[in-house]
Amino acid sequence: MTIKKYIFILTFVVLSSIVFAQKYTISGYVKDNNNGEELIGANVYVKELAKGTISNQYGFYSITLPKGKYTLQVSFIGFQDFSKQVDLNKNIKLNINVSTKAIQAKEVVISSERGKNIESTQMGAVKLPIEKIKALPAFMGEVDILKTIQLLPGIQSGGEGNTGFYVRGGGPDQNLILLDEATVYNASHLFGFFSVFNADAIKDVNLIKGGMPANYGGRLSSVLDISMKNGNMKKYQADGGIGIISSRLTVQGPIKKDTASFIASGRRTYADLLVQPFIKKTAKAKGSKYYFYDFNAKINYILSQKDRLYLSGYFGRDVFKFTSPSGGFLASIDWGNATSSLRWNHLFTDKLFMNTTLVYTNYDFSFGATQSDFELKLFSGITDYNAKVDFTFFPTIRHNVKFGVNYIFHTFQPSSVSAKVGETEIDLGGIIKEYANDGAIYITDDFDLTDKIKINAGVRGTIFQQVGPFDRYVNNELGLTKDTIHYDKWKNIMVYKHIEPRFSIRYSLPYNSSVKASYTQNYQYIHLASASSMSLPMDLWVPSSTVVKPQFGKQYSIGYFKNFKDNIFETSIELYYKDLQNQIEYADGSMPGEDVGQNADNSFVFG
C-alpha cells in the first residue's frame, strides 16, 4: 500500500467522525505560575464528558466541544489541580497557570503521569520528572539522566563506565536522543561515567521504548526526547552546586517580563586542577590530565499571541592529555557534541498548531600524538543540517492529528589521518568522506473509536539518498584496489524508499485497567560502527550505501495496565517480539580508521 493510500484512509477516518453540530474551541497554554514555563503533557480534562487531551511539547492544548457548560480540570504531576467552570458559547482562549505543591514522600518513584498509563494508546512510555530525578542518589555528586533511565525495566546499561543503553535487545546507536529536537550522537562524559545532560538546564524527559509514533523515526529501538528549560519569565534566579569532581552554575531570568527570557548553564570538572599539586611531586604521574565541560543556553521570545521563537544551544567537550615522564611523547584525545536549534511556533487557528525547526548538530572525535619531531593526527565526525515542519491539528475532542515533513543533510567523516615530520606535512588521506539526503513525511491520528477503544494509527514515508562527491574503491580478492568509480557533487549513488506503518490500540477494562497492543516498523539509515561492545568516542557513524543496507526493525507488543488507590500505584506487564535485520559491526581484527584511502564499509560484517 502506498503512502498516499495510508494518508487518504487516515484523513477519511478523521473527517467522517466529525459531528456537524455547532461547536466551539477552548485553547491556550498550560504554564507554571511560579516561572512562566510551559508544561509539557499536562492533562486537560472535561469532567462532564469524561474525556480530554494533553498539552503538547510547547504547552499548547485545544479542545473542541458542542455549545454548553463544562468543568475544565487540569492536572500535572507536582502541581496543584486546577478547575474552572466554562460557559462555551464562543471560542475561548484560556491560558492556565498552575502552582506547585509540596510533596512529602519517603521514596522517589519514577512513573507516568497519573492515569495516563491506562488511558493512552502509547506503550513503553515513561515520563521522568526532572525534580524526582534530582532526588535520586547522585554518583559523585552528579545527577545523571541516563543512569536513571538504565534503572527502568527493559533497559540495560552498557556496563561499567558506559552511558550507552540498550533497549529491548537493540544497540546503543538504535536510540534516538534529542535535545530540543537536535540529535545528540554521543551522550557521555568521562569515558561513559556521566551523561552530557546537565539536570539544572533540563525541564522535561520522555522515553519511548515501544510503539514509536509516526512523528519519530530514523532509529529502531527507542526515543529519548529531552527539553531544556525556557528560562524564568518572572524573576532572575541563580543556582549552582559543588560536587566531588565538578561544579555547575545556572543563571536564568526575564529579558522582558512575561515576554522573553533566557537561561545559561555551565558545568566543568576540576579533577585535573585538584591533582596538580600531587603531579608536581611525582614525575611518573606527570602526564595524566583529564577534564570535561559543557554549556547550555536558551532564549525564548513571545512575539504575539500566535507566534513564539526559541533559540537554544549546547556545546560540550571531553579532553584527555598524556605526557610521558621524560616529556618526549605527548598524546591528546578530545571529543564532544555541538547543537543549536531555532524554532518558530505559530497558531494558524485555535485548532492548528505549527512548529518550524532549523537544527545544526555536530559530533567529532580527534586524536593527536607527538614524538620528537613527528606528529600524527586522526579525526572523525558527523554533521547534520536539519529542517522540519510539524503540525498538530485538534479537529474534535476525540482526535489529535499530527503531520509533518523532515529533511536532514548528513556529512560523514569516518576518519581523516595526517602526519607531520619536522616542517613537512603528509596527507595520509583516510576513509572517504560521505554525504546523504535524509527525508521523511508522516501523519498520525490518536483518536477515540468508541468510549472503550482508543487507536493511534499512523504512517511514515522515508527516503534516503547517498550522493557525491564520492569515490567507490573496487577491490580484488586480495583486498587491493583494482578500480575506482567517481561520483560528482550531488550525483545520486544509492536511493532507499520505505513505508513505515505504526499502529497502537487500547481497550479500557473495569477497575481502572486496560489492555494495549501495538505494531511498528522502522528503518534506520545511519549506522554506528563499533570496534567493541562499548560506546567508545572513536566509534564511527556511516550511512547506508550500495554495500551497507538500511537496518530494519519491527516490533509487536501487548500489555496489561492497572492502577491502584486513585492512581497512586501503577502496574503493567508488557510482552514484545522484536525482529532486527541488517545489523553491522567491524569484522574480526578490523579497527576504526585503519582503511586509509578506502571506503568505510570495506571492514564491516552484516547480520
Determine the pLDDT at residue 141.
66
Lowest average pLDDT, out of 161-170, 268-277, 372-381, goes to: 268-277
Residues 33-77: tens digit of each pLDDT: 989 999 988 899 898 888 888 999 899 999 998 999 999 999 888
C-alpha–C-alpha distance, residues 226 and 149, integer Å: 12
Q: For residues 323-345, give the mean pLDDT.
A: 89
Lowest average pLDDT, out of 143-152, 277-286, 298-307, 398-407, goes to: 277-286
Q: Contact, 245 vs 140, CB < 8 A? A: yes
DSSP assignment letter at 142: B
518: Cβ–Cβ under 8 A, 6 or more apart, which residues? 121, 123, 210, 211, 502, 503, 504, 505, 555, 556, 557, 558
C-alpha–C-alpha distance, residues 73 and 54, integer Å: 11
Structural domains in the chain, CATH included, are 3-98 (2.60.40.10)
If phi over 0 gives left and psi between -120 and 50 gives alpha, with beta otherwise, what is residue 161?
Answer: left
Residues of the chain above pLDDT 70, percent: 83
- What is the chain's mean pLDDT, rounded? 85
DSSP assignment letter at 128: E
Determine the pLDDT at residue 6.
56
DSSP assignment letter at 173: G
Higher pLDDT, 537 or 556: 556
Determine the pLDDT at residue 482.
77
Least Cα distance to 191 among 376, 365, 351 occurs for: 365
Rg (CA), the chain: 26
C-alpha cell at 80: 496543584
Least Cα distance to 458 among 399, 382, 530 occurs for: 399
The overall pTM is greater than 0.85: yes
Residues 442-485: tens digit of each pLDDT: 999 999 999 899 999 999 999 999 999 988 888 777 767 778 88
Residues 132-162: tens digit of each pLDDT: 777 776 766 677 888 888 888 888 877 655 5
Determine the pLDDT at residue 531.
57
**Across 122-126, 140-144, 232-236, 430-434, which has the greatest mean pLDDT?**
232-236
Q: How far is CA 277 from CA 254, 272, 285, 320, in A?
A: 42, 10, 11, 18
310 beta partners: 300, 343
Determine the pLDDT at residue 283.
47
Q: For residues 242-268, give the mean pLDDT.
A: 92
Determine the pLDDT at residue 604.
64
Q: Do the strands 222-228 and 175-179 form a parallel or antiparallel pair, or are they unpaired?
A: parallel
For 313, how many CA atoms within 13 A lie in the half-sphere containing its CB?
11
Residues 487-534: tens digit of each pLDDT: 899 999 999 999 999 999 999 998 889 999 999 999 999 998 765 544
Least Cα distance to 77 among 46, 101, 56 occurs for: 101
Q: For residues 548-572, give the mean pLDDT.
A: 88
CA pseudo-torsion sign 518, 522, 528, 529:
positive
Residues 169-211: tens digit of each pLDDT: 888 899 999 999 999 999 888 877 788 999 999 999 999 998 8
